[in-house]
């Protein structure tokens, strides 16, 4: 077999092997996406209820009683902003299309919009990609977390929330933004940046998913409450759940978007591999046909010469 034909044949086999890998990875990502969507839908209903309960309590009651404050009710405190924190959620690995680059790009745009730089900004990163990106550029990464499971559990978030709240109370940063990829559907996702701390009525309504009219009717709560033992004690618990719901919900949302992006990227890679295989097979067949034609011509020529 001529060297050129052998080379093309090797490329075909290599591309077919790559296609098998990308096809398998697409199936795995799709399975993970289907699995996490069940968790996400159920959790969104819980998070919406927690948000609405806390919003109603904030409207109806003061949480500024200094004698009753703890680390969570202190999240309502507004103070002069000297340091801004940004909690960025990215993936631990690649092969997810533009998933990570979109989050990082929007985070940098947010910094530009709020006149932030490496001197007045600290980063809390979930995911290896974001951690490496900001560290390489000399940014101040004060907290990093890697190894988030494919379907994150609620227990994974508690340590992150506790550390984040403690940093806020210790003055490591005076406000905190949350930046992550929001899953819309299997084709579309967009980056969402929202303020997490300090907690306010505006921060509880900005950039939140729309709630259907039916859901709103079910979860609508009257602003008239009777509290036992006290409003601040209850708010402390609700704020804790709200902070956890924000981070856990964002991680779930980001992971859903990650699996979707991975499935789409592997689908595109498989389609590209099919096109390359088709082109190579056409090239191989043409070269093989040319070689056969040449051989026939040589044989015919030889027979003619002997006559």
| Predicted confidence (pLDDT) per residue in 89-110, tens digit | 999 888 888 899 999 999 999 9
Q: How far apart are CA 106 and CA 191, in angstroms?
A: 7
pLDDT of 105 = 93
The answer, yes or no, to whether residue 19 has pLDDT greater than 60, is: yes
CB-based contact 195:206 (threshold 8 Å):
yes
CB-based contact 143:125 (threshold 8 Å):
yes
Highest average pLDDT, of 156-170, 192-206, 231-245, 252-266, comes from 252-266
Among left, alpha and beta (phi > 0; psi -120 to 50; other), residue 115 is left
pTM of the model: 0.77
Average pLDDT, the chain: 80
| CATH superfamily ID and name for 28-64+73-200+226-263 | ATP synthase, F1 complex, gamma subunit (3.40.1380.10)
pLDDT of 70 = 57
Measured N-to-C along each axis, helices 99-113 and 128-136 cross at an angle, to the nearest 10 degrees, of 50
pLDDT of 203 = 63
Q: How far apart are CA 254 and CA 93, in angstroms?
A: 14
- Average pLDDT (50-73) is 61
The DSSP letter of residue 60 is H
Q: How far apart are CA 190 and CA 103, in angstroms?
A: 9
CA neighbor of 29 nearest in space, from 221, 183, 257, 209: 257
pLDDT of 60 = 60
**Continuous segment of H or E residues that includes residue 242:** helix 231-306
**Continuous segment of H or E residues that includes residue 145:** strand 140-145
């Amino acid at each position: 077999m001529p060297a050129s034909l052998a080379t093309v044949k090797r490329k075909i086999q290599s591309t077919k092997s790559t296609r098998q890998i990308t096809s398998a990875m697409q199936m795995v990502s799709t399975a993970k996406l289907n699995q996490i969507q069940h968790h996400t839908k159920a959790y969104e209903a819980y998070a919406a209820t927690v948000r609405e309960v806390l919003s109603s309590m904030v409207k109806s009651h003061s949480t500024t009683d200094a004698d009753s404050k703890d680390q969570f009710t202190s999240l309502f405190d507004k103070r002069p902003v000297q340091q801004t924190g940004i909690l960025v959620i990215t993936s631990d690995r690649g092969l997810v299309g533009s998933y990570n680059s979109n989050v990082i790009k929007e985070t940098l745009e947010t910094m530009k919009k709020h006149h932030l730089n490496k001197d007045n900004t600290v980063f809390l990163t979930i995911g290896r990609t974001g951690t490496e990106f900001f560290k390489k550029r000399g940014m101040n990464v004060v907290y990093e977390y890697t190894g988030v499971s494919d379907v994150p559990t609620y227990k994974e978030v508690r340590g992150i929330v506790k550390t984040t709240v403690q940093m806020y109370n210790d003055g490591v940063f005076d406000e905190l933004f949350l930046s992550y990829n929001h899953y819309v559907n299997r084709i579309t996702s967009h980056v969402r940046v929202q303020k997490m701390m300090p907690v306010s009525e505006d921060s509880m309504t900005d950039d939140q998913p729309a709630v259907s009219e039916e859901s709103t009717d079910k979860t609508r709560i009257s602003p008239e409450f009777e509290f036992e033992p006290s409003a601040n004690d209850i708010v402390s618990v609700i704020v804790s759940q709200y902070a956890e719901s924000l981070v856990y919900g964002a991680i779930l949302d980001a992971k859903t978007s990650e699996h979707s992006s991975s499935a789409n990227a592997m689908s595109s890679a498989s389609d590209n591999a099919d096109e390359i295989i088709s082109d190579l097979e056409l090239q191989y067949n043409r070269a093989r046909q040319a070689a056969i034609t040449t051989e026939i011509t040589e044989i015919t020529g030889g027979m003619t010469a002997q006559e």
